[in-house]
């Protein structure tokens, strides 16, 4: 979108190109979808809307450097992403984080402070094909967005709304000083590794909150997300079991 020296691209994205019918009229999304692009990811951002589903499969923690962001851990430090199968599919039955379902598209704010957004994509990935004839997969129908673009834009907008709710909830948890740094030791076979550099909600501080504060968090759905996060800690054991032995 602008000078690469001043713009830090989001995780996974190598570029963000504004899409237009003039330049990308023959593009379409690939018929065979693959998560190969996420094979080396050890974590992926989550929105708090996703916590109830994601907590069944992943440890949900918070980043401890930079802006506080909830993430799903996808593997131990040495193990890479344990959820991408050899054929590029996601592990059957496991929740697929919304961040990965949004990729390679994204709505980018036109400029700082603007309410207008531009529909962009990372065209360097393998999830596009040229000269696409399938109407369901084409990005454009003449000079108008095609069905694939309409679906992607709708999803991107919903994802941005979920992000806004997440940022607001995180800010509140930080004001209450509930998020603290943590670490965990994983033992897989004869091998033990330490995962650190993340934060979690401190249960002791949570239980010390005033009743009216707890009631407010419950009514607005924040407390449910907090407990989904805490319940997800049991999934660290799954990461330990999947660690390589050598």
Alpha carbon distance 178, 61 (integer Å): 13
pLDDT on residue 195: 81
Alpha carbon distance 114, 23 (integer Å): 25
pLDDT on residue 241: 60
Alpha helices in the chain (DSSP H): 21-24, 51-54, 98-102, 147-175, 203-207, 211-219, 222-231, 236-241
Tokens standing for residue 51: 């916590």
pLDDT on residue 34: 95
pLDDT on residue 54: 98
Least Cα distance to 44 among 85, 93, 95, 117 occurs for: 95
Q: Is 57 helix (H, G, I), strand (E, B) or coil?
A: coil
Query: Per-residue confidence of the chain (246 residues) as pLDDT tens digits?
Result: 333 344 589 999 999 999 999 999 999 999 989 999 999 999 999 999 999 999 999 999 999 988 999 999 998 766 689 999 999 999 999 999 999 999 999 999 887 777 788 999 999 999 999 999 999 999 999 999 999 999 999 999 999 999 999 999 999 999 999 999 998 877 666 666 778 889 999 999 999 999 999 999 999 999 999 999 999 999 998 876 665 544
C-beta separation of 97 from 50 below 8 A: yes
pLDDT on residue 91: 96
Q: Is the link from the previous residue into 104 a cis peptide, with omega within 30 of 0?
A: yes
Alpha carbon distance 20, 23 (integer Å): 6
Which DSSP string corresponds to 143-195? TEE-HHHHHHHHHHHHHHHHHHHHHHHHHHHHHTT-EEEEEEEEEETTEEEEE
Q: Give the side-chain half-sphere CA count within 13 A for 43.
A: 19
C-beta separation of 122 from 13 below 8 A: yes
The number of angstroms, rounded, from the C-alpha of 32 to the middle of its chain's C-alpha atoms is: 21
pLDDT on residue 188: 61
Query: What are the two backbone dihedrals, phi and then psi, of residue 118, each rounded to the nearest 5 degrees?
Result: -115, 135
Say how many C-beta atoms besides its own lie within 10 A of residue 169's C-beta.
20
* Residues comprising the chain, all counted: 246
pLDDT on residue 28: 97
pLDDT on residue 25: 95
Query: What are the two backbone dihedrals, phi and then psi, of residue 98, each rounded to the nearest 5 degrees?
Result: -60, -30
Q: Is 102 helix (H, G, I), strand (E, B) or coil?
A: helix
Which DSSP symbol is given to 124?
A: T
């Amino acid at each position: 979108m602008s000078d690469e020296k001043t713009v830090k691209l989001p995780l996974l994205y190598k570029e963000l190109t504004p899409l237009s019918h003039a330049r990308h009229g023959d593009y379409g999304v690939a018929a065979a979808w693959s998560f190969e692009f996420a094979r080396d990811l050890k974590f992926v951002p989550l929105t708090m809307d996703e916590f109830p589903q994601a907590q069944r499969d992943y440890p949900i923690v918070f980043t401890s450097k930079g802006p506080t962001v909830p993430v799903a851990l996808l593997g131990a430090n040495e193990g890479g992403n344990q959820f991408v199968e050899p054929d590029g599919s996601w592990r059957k039955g496991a929740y697929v984080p919304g961040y990965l379902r949004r990729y390679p598209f994204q709505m980018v704010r036109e400029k700082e402070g603007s309410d207008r957004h531009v529909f962009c994509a990372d065209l360097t990935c393998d999830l596009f094909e040229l000269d696409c004839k399938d109407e369901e997969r084409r990005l454009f129908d003449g000079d108008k967005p095609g069905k694939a673009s309409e679906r992607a834009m709708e999803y991107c907008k919903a994802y941005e709304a979920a992000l806004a709710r997440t940022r607001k909830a995180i800010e509140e948890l930080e004001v209450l000083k509930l998020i603290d740094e943590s670490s965990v030791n994983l033992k897989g076979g004869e091998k033990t590794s330490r995962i650190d550099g993340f934060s979690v909600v401190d249960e002791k501080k949570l239980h010390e909150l005033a009743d009216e504060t707890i009631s407010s968090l419950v009514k607005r759905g924040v407390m449910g997300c907090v407990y989904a996060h805490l319940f997800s800690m049991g999934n660290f054991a799954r990461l330990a079991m999947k660690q390589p032995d050598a």
